[in-house]
Amino acid sequence: MEDIKTIGELLIWLRGPGAVALVMWAASWAFEGWEKWENLSRKSKSGIILAVASVIGIAAQYFQTQPELLDVLAPYVNTLISIAGAWLVTQVAHKKNPDR
């Protein structure tokens, strides 16, 4: 996967495998240890992930058809992309050396 640097690149990624990857990661991170989530069947979890990823993908497709809105949102989304990238780097570094 290439680096995502713009809102347009993010939307393209979210229209495809990015939505599923994002939702799977978010669910894993957010619901880890949450008893209600842990007690759901594998099929239920998969269905929820698929439904949320589909909504994200459809929303990404919609936003791509709204250039005026993208122009307004671009600076804010680009800031969030930079912050998320920096945070992910720190997470990877921490996993490689948790004693730092």
The pLDDT, as a whole number, for residue 28 is: 83
Q: How far is CA 80 from CA 1, 11, 29, 49, 100, in A?
A: 19, 13, 18, 23, 25
The alpha helices in the chain, defined as continuous H runs, are 7-15, 17-31, 35-39, 42-64, 67-96
Sequence ranges of the domains in the chain: 7-96
Give the tens place of pLDDT for each residue, 16-51.
888 888 888 888 888 888 899 989 999 999 999 889
The alpha carbon dihedral of 57, 59, 65, 69 has a sign of: negative
